[in-house]
C-alpha cells in the first residue's frame, strides 16, 4: 500500500466528520446557545473534523499492509 493512502483516509474521514458536525449544528444544534460545542456551526464542524480524524486514524490501523 502506498504511504499516502492512510493520510488520505484520515483527511477524508475528517472532512466527513466536519460536514456531519456542520449538518448537526444547522439542523438540531443548541436551542439557547449555552452549549459549548454545539453553539455554533464552526465549533461543531471543528469538533466533527477532530473526531473524524481520530476515527480515520483508528481505521488506518486495520488496513492490510504489504510485507
C-beta separation of 62 from 53 below 8 A = no
Q: Which domain holds residue 23?
A: 4-60
Q: What is the pTM (predicted TM-score) of this model?
A: 0.81
How many residues can be counted in the chain? 67
Q: Among 34-43, 45-54, 55-64, which stretch is predicted with the lowest mean pLDDT? A: 34-43
In a domain, 67, yes or no: no
In a domain, 41, yes or no: yes
Q: For residue range 33-47, what is the model confidence (pLDDT) as tens digits?
A: 677 666 778 888 999
Looking at residue 38, its pLDDT comes to 66
User: Who wins on pLDDT, 56 or 30?
Assistant: 56
Domain total in the chain:
1
In a domain, 65, yes or no: no
**Half-sphere exposure (CA, 13 Å, Cβ side) for 9?**
16
Selection from 18, 16, 44, 19 nearest residue 30 by Cα: 44
In a domain, 15, yes or no: yes
Amino acid at each position: 500500500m502506498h504511504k499516502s493512502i492512510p493520510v488520505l483516509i484520515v483527511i477524508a474521514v475528517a472532512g466527513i466528520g466536519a460536514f456531519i458536525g456542520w449538518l448537526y449544528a444547522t439542523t438540531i444544534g443548541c436551542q439557547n446557545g449555552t452549549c459549548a460545542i454545539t453553539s455554533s456551526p464552526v465549533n461543531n464542524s471543528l469538533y466533527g473534523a477532530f473526531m473524524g480524524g481520530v476515527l480515520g486514524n483508528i481505521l488506518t490501523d486495520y488496513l492490510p499492509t504489504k510485507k
